[in-house]
Amino acid sequence: MTVLIAGFAPFPGAPFNPSADLVAALRQAPQRPGRALVTLPVSWDDSWPVLQAAIEESGARGVILFGLHMSAERLRIELLARNRRELGLEDAVGRFPAGPSILEGPATHACRLPLSDLARLLRRHRLDFEWSTNAGGYLCNDTLYKLAHHADRLGIEAFGFIHLPLSDERVGDMMASGEEVPAVFNSVSADALLGLADDLFALLSVDSPATA
């Protein structure tokens, strides 16, 4: 099946986003049949419409979202999307969330990924990771919740979200930017992320959306 890999553009406080760099690197890599790519704006109004359009245009049946979490000590595999927004968080175009809830819907939606296979894949790449049931209250969770809420209508069989630390290659850029960074933070190799994305695409393009 076609798998859409999505990253997010930079946003306030994060002028460099490893998920956008990952999508850019995949665009430069040899094309693979059934793989679609999109970089999403960090916008309360536009992130989901851009993702939905990419799903409909590509005919994707699997969607994997990547996003930055500067405080993450390792890759963070999100298991749930929560129907909540943190008020007062500005997006990349200066807008704020309209309210504390995302949609009229359940409090949570579960992601649909083959978790055991995903864990084996991550360990094969020697990437540290952890499971998370809280994707936050910003655009990452907002977009994931909308994807989960509309998945059946759009014919999406498998979907999930992976939060990334900063990439090794962007640490110097981030420090030179003058933006505030956590007192202690981790990073991961961009090459390792590229290899992970390739293998994750292969996994989802042939596997069922089992969650264990």
Q: Give the integer Cα–Cα distance in Å for 210 and 9.
A: 30
Q: Which tokens belong to 167?
A: 């990439």
For the entire predicted model, the pTM comes to 0.94
Give 19-55 pLDDT, tens digit per residue: 999 999 999 999 899 999 999 999 999 999 999 999 9
Residue 152 has pLDDT above 50, yes or no: yes
Residue 3 has pLDDT above 70, yes or no: yes
Q: Which domain holds residue 161?
A: 3-206
Cα-flanking dihedrals φ and ψ of residue 7, to 5°?
A: -120, 175
Domain count, the chain: 1
Domain-embedded: residue 170: yes
Is 211 a member of any domain? no
Lowest mean pLDDT among 22-31, 120-129, 185-194, 199-208: 199-208
- CATH no. for residue 190? 3.40.630.20
Q: What is the C-alpha separation between 174 and 31, in angstroms, rounded?
A: 30
- Give pLDDT, residue 62: 97
The per-residue pLDDT for range 154-181, each reduced to its tens digit, is 999 999 999 999 999 999 999 999 999 9
Residue indicated by tokens 């245009």:
57
Q: Identify the pLDDT of residue 128.
A: 95
139 occurs within a structural domain: yes
Q: How confident is the model at residue 212 (pLDDT cuts 50, 70, 90)?
A: very low
**Residue 197 within any structural domain of the chain:** yes
Q: Measured between alpha carbons, how far is residue 29 from residues 25, 61, 66 in Å?
A: 6, 22, 18
> 158 burial class (0-12, 13-18, 19+ CB within 10 angstroms)?
buried
65 occurs within a structural domain = yes
9 contacts 20 by C-beta, under 8 angstroms: yes
pLDDT above 80 for 91: yes
CB burial readout 121-155, b (16+ within 10 A) else e? bbeebebebeebeebbbbbbbbbbbbbbbbbeebe
**Over residues 105-134, mean pLDDT:** 96
212 inside domain: no
